[in-house]
Structure 1
């Protein structure tokens, strides 16, 4: 499962990163890379059972999302 998560992160980075690289949008490329890397890291940590801020974020943002998308 971890391999699938890492592979999907790489595919997303390639899909999003190649146009940014061609247009020489370095800041955007770094931002997308950091966001994807942090998402992959949090996903792996969640799978391994390491304490992450994901439950706190779900409690904080969950009711707001339920209100908006009701």
Structure 2
């Protein structure tokens, strides 16, 4: 019983690391794509924009919103 529990814990641990790594790669690729297509990194949009309401029901401030 203990071996099965330990195996499950180890598998969940490694699965969470793999998912976290995939998310970081996705953000890295977004930044590289932004530099390639727009000429500047995606990080310039940190803390940018407005909150347009639940489900985007508010009025956008500009074309990027």
TM over 0.5: no
Q: Which has the larger radius of gyration?
A: 2
Which has the larger helix fraction? 1
Structure scoring higher RCO (CA < 8 A, sep ≥ 6) equals 1
TM range (shorter): 0.3 to 0.5
User: TM-score with structure 1 length normalisation?
Assistant: 0.38
